[in-house]
Amino acid sequence: MNQLIWCSPLGAAIYQLLADIIKLGLAKKLIQKKDLFTTDQIVINKLKKDPKTAKEIKKLFLTKIKLVTKTQADCHILSKIRAVDPYFLRDGRLTKLSKVDKNYVKKIRHWKKMAQKGFYIKILNS
């Protein structure tokens, strides 16, 4: 789940692009900091009133990326690493998956190591 949703390179790139749009909206006074404590839709509607930010928002939904080397990257993104070690019933007792599945432990360690380095990303449709 972490690799597909929360910490995926694409997800991290979209979060970064959205942060850039919000910063632009704040700089252009399209939104105020207090707007960030309302709903996503309120903020998006205000940002869409400006042609430049409206265009950038539209691009968010079409974002395509490629993992590249540091010298080719548009940005380097670090993402919060999450890992789930679920309990399950084994012989009538709650047991953590990591206690019985060493392959799962290996995959989690590999993912954490990779994610800690961050992702060098090239935005393909900027």
CA distance 76 to 16: 10
CA distance 113 to 91: 33
Q: What residues does 67 pair with on adjacent strands?
A: 121
Q: What residues does 122 pair with on adjacent strands?
A: 66
pTM of the model: 0.67
Q: What pLDDT score does 16 carry?
A: 86
- Number of structural domains in the chain: 1
For residue 8, give its domain range: 2-123
The phi and psi torsions of 76 (rounded to 5 degrees) equal -115, 120
Q: What pLDDT score does 23 carry?
A: 97
CA distance 5 to 40: 19
pLDDT band at 8 (very low <50, low <70, confident <90, very high): confident
Helices (DSSP H) in 2-125: which residue ranges?
9-27, 40-47, 51-60, 97-100, 102-117
Helix or strand (DSSP H, E) at 48:
none
6-15, 22-31, 38-47: which range is least confident on average? 6-15
Indicate if the pLDDT at residue 68 is higher than 50: yes
pLDDT tens per residue, range 27-66: 999 999 999 999 999 999 999 999 999 999 998 888 888 8
